[in-house]
Structure formats: structure tokens, C-alpha cells
């Protein structure tokens, strides 16, 4: 990671106690969802919690498969559950995973998948940590692929 990238991440880190109570709960829900991860190959547990605009929280975890490409990330799991329940408007997502030196942001496929449903706030944490990376989807996925005219980059 470049020094500039590291500095950008550090400036987006906030303390858990300084975040809104709803967001603190969202992070706790993602942490709990992480415990249900099915990851016998990587042993890398990820949990996600998605805050819908109606206040509902829907969680997901990563689910691996021996045919690696058909596994599903925690973020897309949460989105799939929410959409299958008739919800498609979202305010925020929390992602909780553990890498010693880095925050685990959504992968490129998840970022593009999430962009289908609009920009939202993103909160990334390690389990039990007080430091939270705070950003939004458009910042971590600038110039996303889009077929509609509402996002024109000329």
C-alpha cells in the first residue's frame, strides 16, 4: 500500500463511540453475522450488516464453496437477503473482518454490485476494535460501470 493510500485511510478512521447509536448497532450486527461465516478453505470470516432506508437491518456472511468462484461475499449475501425481502433502498453497510494490518473493504465485485442500488455510507471494522473506517461507496468505487443516464461521466 502506498504512503498516500495509507494516509487517506487514516484520515477516514473514527472512534466507534463517536458514531451514531444506529451505526454502532450496525457494526455489532455485522460482527455477530461474521460468526456464521462458512469458510472452511480460507478460514477468513466476514460479516456484513445492511441498513435499509426503512430502518431494517439485514445481515450476511461470506459463504465459500470448493469451486471458489461460486462462493458469495458477506456484502452480496446481505443484499440478496434484503432484496428477496422486497427491500432495495439502503443507507449504510458495515463490514467486519480481520486482517492484522488493514481494514477489509468490500472487494471490487461487491462494490460494483452495491453500486446498482446507489451510494451509501460504508463502515469497516475489525471485530472488537474501536477504530472504524468510514467512507461511502462512490469514494471507494469512483466511475463505476452504469447503463443509466443518471450517472454520466463526461
Annotated binding site for Zn(2+): 73, 107, 110
Catalytic residue status for 75: yes
DSSP string, 87-130: ---EEEEEEEE--SSS--PPPHHHHHHHHTT---EEEEE-TT-S
Contact 33, 47 (CB under 8 A): yes
Active-site pick, 29, 32, 64, 75: 75
Annotated binding site: 73, 107, 110
Contact 124, 104 (CB under 8 A): yes
DSSP single-letter state for residue 63? B
Round to the nearest angstrom and report the end-to-end CA distance of the chain.
Answer: 30
Which active-site residues does the annotation give?
75
Amino acid at each position: 500500500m502506498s504512503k498516500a493510500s495509507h494516509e487517506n485511510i487514516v484520515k477516514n478512521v473514527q472512534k466507534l463511540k463517536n458514531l451514531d447509536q444506529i451505526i454502532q448497532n450496525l457494526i455489532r450486527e455485522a460482527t455477530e453475522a461474521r460468526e456464521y461465516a462458512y469458510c472452511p478453505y480460507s478460514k477468513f470470516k466476514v460479516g456484513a450488516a445492511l441498513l435499509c432506508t426503512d430502518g431494517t437491518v439485514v445481515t450476511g456472511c461470506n459463504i465459500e464453496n470448493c469451486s471458489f468462484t461460486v462462493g458469495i461475499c458477506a456484502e452480496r449475501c446481505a443484499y440478496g437477503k434484503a432484496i428477496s425481502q422486497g427491500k432495495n433502498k439502503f443507507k449504510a453497510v458495515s463490514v467486519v473482518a480481520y486482517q492484522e494490518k488493514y481494514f477489509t473493504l468490500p472487494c471490487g465485485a461487491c462494490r460494483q454490485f452495491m453500486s446498482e442500488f446507489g451510494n451509501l455510507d460504508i463502515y469497516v471494522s475489525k471485530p472488537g476494535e474501536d477504530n472504524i473506517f468510514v467512507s461511502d461507496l462512490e469514494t471507494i468505487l469512483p466511475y463505476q460501470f452504469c447503463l443509466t443516464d443518471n450517472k454520466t461521466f463526461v
